[in-house]
Structure 1
Amino acid sequence: MVSPKLIAKIESEEPTTRFAVLIDADNAQAAVIEGLLAEVAKFGEATVKRIYGDFTAPTSASWKKVLQKHAIKPMQQFAYTTGKNSTDSTLIIDAMDLLYTRKFDGFCLVTSDSDFTGLAMRLREEGLTVLGFGEQKTPEAFRNACHKFILTEILRPTIQPETPSQATKAVSSVPSKDAEQTVKPIEFPIRFVLEALEHSSDESGWAHLGTFGSYLTKLQPDFDSRRFGFKKLSDLVRAKTDVFATEERALPGQEQKSLYVRAKSAL
């Protein structure tokens, strides 16, 4: 029997944002699934989890090992014609069917294919949140069609060698396809970030970190502090003391302090 206290707690909690997670198996790697679902959990609940592809093909073997563990429903789509991708059509049709149930607050589209740009735009027109997940090769058209785009290379587990001998062996060996799936370092876009900070700050030049982060994502959906070596945006602004000044403020009625940031000097 369920405890009455537990029932009361569940009923008192705010409704969870409900997401439909749709994965294109032809354009996604199984190695990122744990990190991906953990990332989705930051935004809401993955109510529906479906993956689309031809699971009779050898290329889908890695996915078959993780589907049951993570309760992902496989949507088998045979390749009837060589050179034609029927997986895309099935995913899009299912997305529209789920959209019209009106049961979801957003969609997570896991693909590196620009063919889903139109789908992302259509879902946004309905007022739903669209999260995109894809590799670095993903075209900007699809990235910008999402509210937030996250590189799957960031979500890949980091495997550390257990011994020095293993480390030497790993360096000397030919890198595997999975090992090559890492995020390429990029230069910190200081001018873009400072312009975004200027637009999100108040008259005194200070901006709430949450407001600043939201504005960055609106301007550039694939902006992610992890691409610059920082787990959170707060870690990034605190570390770059030559660019930002930070200040913690206690807000009325709140025990936890909020972080504010401003530009240390103009370019």
Structure 2
Amino acid sequence: MTRPNDQARLAVLIDADNAHAKYVEALFVEIAKYGTASVRRAYGDWTTNQLKSWKDSLLDHSVQPVQQFSYTQGKNSTDSALIIDAMDLLHGGTVDGFCLVSSDSDFTRLAARIREQGFEAYGFGERKTPKPFVAACNTFVYVENLIASETPLSPTDKADWKHDDRLDALLKEAVTTAARDDDWAHLGEVGSNLSRLASDFDSRTWGFSKLKDLMSAHPAYEINPQATGEGRQKTVMVRLKAPKKTR
């Protein structure tokens, strides 16, 4: 049964050996956009000092620590424990989607399997996360974007998006696909296209809190709020600017 986003039951499975506790508060704020975190577990060897920084975060956000001893040096038992629990939940019918918190490529097949079973796979990791894991998720969020307000981008960094070929290609494809006969496209449809084209698309990556702000600033596009329907609600439209005519 498909549920609205605010009713979707999500299993948040954290690879504490690979994730940082400093992102936890912002992480759960972000996860709330996709549903309710009904299962909250963090995996690691809690007998070591390495995970000491997680203690307060676990209590504050009602995250259950799952103990996994490192039986063999060089082997990551934590990954195995997380994957086994994920498969149990997948077949248990108690959740509608999974939030995998890690920057580890070892979870690529798990994310793909979750999608194959018709569940949503949300990934959360650092920008160093290998591309195969990012692509395997329905949606992937870089955790650095979650606390961007605390470390705002410099003017130099913000200018980089103007010369990002990948961004230009994504925007053009998304707008062109959603465009009507008059070349205008609903911004909401553009956003949906971007999510399908790139699981890690996020306007915050380029220093903009919303897609509307990014499209407004981009020199190749123009936006136009239009009043539609009986309630005359404003719908934001976007289109490629017509090329300038040369004499």
Bin the TM-score by the shorter chain.
0.7 to 0.9
**Cα gap change, 1:266/1:29 in structure 2, threshold over 3 Å: closer, same or farther?**
farther
Residues 1:129 and 2:120 aligned together: yes
Is contact 2:6–2:35 with CA below 8 Å preserved after alignment? no
* Aligned Cα root-mean-square deviation (Å): 2.3
Q: Distance in 1 between matches of 2:64 and 2:184?
A: 46
Instruction: Name the SS for the 2:83 alignment partner.
Output: helix
Structure-2 residue corresponding to 1:171:
none
Q: Give how far 1:14 is off.
A: 8.9
Question: Which residue does 2:240 correspond to in 1?
Answer: 263
Report if the CA contact (8 A) 2:6-2:33 is conserved: no
Whether 2:227 is the aligned partner of 1:227: answer no
Contact 1:35 1:157 in 2 (8 A): no
**Residue identity (%):** 48
Alignment gaps of 5+ in structure 1: 1-12, 161-182
Q: What's 2:229 paired with?
A: 252
User: Residue 107 of structure 1 contacts residue 130 of structure 1 at CA under 8 Å; is this kept in 2?
Assistant: yes
Match of 1:147 in 2: 138
1:83 aligns with 2:64: no
* CA offsets 1:186-225 (integer angstroms, 9 cap, x no match): 6432233112211122222121111111111111111110
Once the two structures are TM-superposed, the CA of residue 233 in structure 1 deviates from its matched residue by: 0.5
Aligned to 1:111: 102
> For structure 1, which segment, 109-118 or 202-211, has the greater mean C-alpha deviation from structure 2 after superposition?
202-211
**TM-score (normalizing by structure 1):** 0.81
| Residue identity matched to 1:192 | L
Q: Distance in 2 between matches of 1:266 and 1:38?
A: 41
The CA distance in 1 between the partners of 2:180 and 2:16, in whole Å, is: 45
**Is contact 1:31-1:156 (8 Å) kept?**
no
Distance 1:197 1:158, change over 3 A: closer
Q: CA deviation at 1:159?
A: 4.7
TM-score (norm 2): 0.87
Residue among 25, 49, 64 paired with 2:40 = 49
Shift of 1:155: 1.6
* SS of residue matched to 1:132: strand
Summarize the Cα distance change of 1:54–1:196 in structure 2 as closer, same or farther, 3 Å threshold: same
- In 1, Cα distance between equivalents of 2:176 and 2:148: 36
Question: How far apart in 1 are the matches of 2:23 and 2:33?
Answer: 16
Q: CA deviation at 1:252?
A: 1.8
Whole-angstrom distance in 2 between the partners of 1:20 and 1:122: 15
Structure 1 counterpart SS, 2:209: coil
Q: Which amino acid aligns with 1:146?
A: C
CA 1:255–1:46 in 2, change beyond 3 Å: closer, same or farther?
Answer: farther
Residue aligning to 2:155: none
Distance 1:250 1:131 in 2: 34
- The farther-off stretch of 107-116 and 253-262 is 253-262
Contact 1:113 1:139 in 2 (8 A): yes
Distance 1:263 1:24, change over 3 A: same
Equivalent residue, structure 2, for 1:238: 216
| Aligned partner of residue 75 in structure 1, secondary structure | strand
Q: Is residue 2:78 matched to residue 1:98?
A: no
For the structure 1 residues 55 and 256, does the alpha-carbon distance in structure 2 shift closer, same or farther, using more than 3 Å as the test? Answer: farther
Query: C-alpha distance in 2, partners of 1:45/1:27?
Result: 23
> Cα deviation per residue 1:55-110 (whole Å; 9 max; x = unaligned)?
11111011112100000011110111111111011101100111112122211100
* Cα gap change, 1:159 to 1:211, in 2 (>3 Å): closer
Question: What's the secondary structure of 2:58's corresponding residue?
Answer: coil
C-alpha separation between the residues in 2 aligned to 1:15 and 1:137?
A: 30
User: Following the alignment from structure 1 to structure 2, what is the Cα–Cα distance between the partners of residues 14 and 196?
Assistant: 23
